[in-house]
Amino acid sequence: MQYDTTFGYGRTESLSTNGRATPAPAVVAEVTTPGITVEQYADYVKLPQNYLRGDLGLTDVTYDFNPAVRMMYPGFDRNEAYHRFRISLKGEPRFHSPPKYLGLRPIPYGLPYTEVAREMGFMVLPQGESDAQILWFNEFPALGIPGVEAWKRWGAEWAAFLEGIPALLVPVEPDQGGERLWELLQATP
């Protein structure tokens, strides 16, 4: 969809000095509405909506008056233990955590897959939810790390979830965050 940026509508008119309406020059730009839906997210990560909604529990919600995707973080029992909101595909911030007054503690994304990883002999530790979702869809065990700062704060505690998994595979993203997460993972006892 495209629109005239003057007023955000398809056509804009202005008054000339003689009082008659004359068409204003159109400045056309792509509409970029704030927020994100599960449908947009599914298209972005190239995964089926029914998989994201049904198997992983993603839902459309409103966050700060804009559409957002609520991502459920299951505990070992597969019940919700934590959640985050995806509020943008590319713009920052892309994520928001639940409010502190709820008293929820962050956990890695995909704890139930740790048992599968022990059976398979390896686990992939990607940075973020979308990489973990893609790996699960392709039947790879993965535990999504919800950001460098999260591992920095909780990594020593979360390392216990990885005990008994012989091989940990870490895709290092080509940015400062990816390098920093790699350094933190290597330094975790």
For tokens 């995806």, the residue is 86
165 SS3 class? coil
Distance CA 74, CA 76 (A): 7
Partnered with residue 82 across adjacent β-strands are: 73
- pLDDT tens profile 103-140: 999 999 999 999 999 999 999 999 999 999 999 999 99
- pLDDT attached to residue 112: 97
Mean pLDDT score, 59-72: 96
Could you tell me the two tokens for 54? Answer: 């049904």
Cis ω before 25 (30° cut-off from 0)? no
Residue 136, Cβ density class (10 Å: 0-12 exposed, 13-18 middle, ≥19 buried): buried
Q: Taking CA 156 as the corner, what is the angle to CA 180 and CA 101, rounded to the nearest 5 degrees?
A: 95
| Per-residue model confidence (pLDDT) at position 32 | 59
pTM above 0.85, yes or no: no
Q: Please, which pLDDT band fits residue 78 given cuts at 50, 70 and 90?
A: very high
pLDDT digits (tens, 9 = 90+) for 151-163: 999 999 999 999 9
The two counts, helices (H) then strands (E), for the chain are: 6, 10
Higher pLDDT, 71 or 25: 71
**Pairwise CA distance, residues 131 & 48, whole Å:** 14
Average pLDDT over residues 61-65: 94
- Reported for 84-90, long-range contacts at CB under 8 A and 24+ positions apart, including other chains, are 84/129, 84/146, 85/61, 86/36, 86/41, 86/129, 87/34, 87/35, 87/36, 87/63, 88/34, 88/35, 88/36, 89/36, 89/40, 89/41, 89/44
Q: What is the pLDDT of residue 176?
A: 87
pLDDT of 12-61, one tens digit each? 333 334 445 445 445 444 445 689 999 999 999 999 999 999 999 999 99
